[in-house]
Amino acid sequence: MTLLGNTTIIVVSWLDPHLQKPMYFFLRNLSFLDLCYTTSVGPQMLVNFRGTHKSISWAGCVAQLYISLSLGCTECLLLAIMAYDRYAAICQPLRYMAIMSHRLCLQLAATAWLCGFGNSTLQTIRTLRLPRCGRNQIDNLFCEVPALLKLACVDTSANEAELLAGAMIYLLVPLGFILITYGYIGAAVLKIRSVKGRLKAFNTCASHLAVVLIFYGTGISMYLQPPSTYSQQRGKIVALFYTMVAPMLNPLIYTLRNKEVHRALQRALRRNMTAQGV
């Protein structure tokens, strides 16, 4: 479901000329990110679910830790950028294309990706340098920072403080920006006299808000707490949700509420049927 949904959004929004807008540029980035997120942890997780010997190589654990943390941080920033895009489209409609120029979109997306991978590099190095004193059993579905800090046989308070600071920067700051942005958007929508215009603006933002609630809700519940108080069973459920469930739901949320995507899918299906001579 995740592979099919996100790949469909990427292909349709890339090929359809009606979807060559900043909104769909960032949506392609989000779909590509979700594809990478799920495939970075999903295959090994499914292998361990099926087998009796549940293990992962050291290199595989390092790769999971680095890639999943990088993509998680990138998504935090990307969702905030998408909120700014919606603000420009609704609050500054006449200047929208001038504000969200192709160059600015590329710069914003590149900044999100670079910051995400940069923060992950620091966190990963700091986490992996901790001595484990022979402890090599991770009570989690995949390798991530809170679970690996539990294996350390030294005081991890400095690492916990650094992790908490990073979580505040990458979770609370973007979330606060999103909420402020949607405050301005809500005020602008209330000024629209047409009921049809209000509904269109609401539908455009509702999908993004739903994704924000799912992603930030689970991320905050996982990372805005000291790993020393980290509940393994609760952590597994939350981790499963934001690594597997959320990337599967994102394409459904965006396509079910977006008429432009509906029409693009219909055009793609008609072209395919015409090409096959149906």
Cα 190 to Cα 81, 90, 194, 215, distances in angstroms: 23, 11, 10, 27
Taking only the tens place, the pLDDT of each residue in 183-204 is 998 888 888 777 777 777 777 7
**What residues in the chain have per-residue pLDDT under 50?**
none
- So what's the pLDDT on residue 186? 86
* DSSP code per residue over 194-247: -HHHHHHHHHHHHHHHHHHHHHHHHHHHHHSS-GGG--HHHHHHHHHIIIIIHH
Q: Give the pLDDT confidence score for residue 78 in this predicted structure.
A: 94
Q: What is the pLDDT of residue 239?
A: 78
DSSP result, 51-105: SSS----HHHHHHHHHHHHHHHHHHHHHHHHHHHHHHHHHHSGGGHHHHT-HHHH
Alpha-carbon span 267 to 278, nearest angstrom = 14
In the CATH scheme, what is the code of domain 2-266? 1.20.1070.10
Q: CB neighbours of 101 closer than 8 A, spacing ≥ 6?
A: none
Using an 8 Å Cβ cutoff, are 116 and 71 in contact? yes
The identity of residue 202, as a single letter, is F
CB neighbours (10 Å) of residue 87?
Answer: 22
Measured distance CA(229)–CA(211) in Å, rounded: 27
Q: What is the DSSP string of 111-166?
A: HHHHHHHHHHHHHHHHHHTS--TT-----SSS--HHHHHTT-SS--HHHHHHHHHH
| pTM of the complete model beyond 0.85 | yes
CB 170 within 8 A of CB 177: no
CA within 13 Å, CB half, 32: 15
SS3 (DSSP) at 109: helix
- What is each CA distance from 134 to 54, 68, 184, 212, in whole angstroms? 18, 24, 53, 39
Distance CA 57, CA 174 (A): 34
Q: Which two tokens stand for residue 248?
A: 């599967």
Angle among Cα 196, 80, 211 to the nearest 5 degrees reads: 65
The answer to whether residues 234 and 140 touch, using CB atoms and an 8 Å cutoff, is no
Q: If you search the block for the tokens 């469909």, which residue do you land on?
A: 8
Q: How far is residue 9's CA from residue 33's CA, in Å, rounded to a whole number?
A: 12
Write down the residue that tokens 């005081």 correspond to: 155
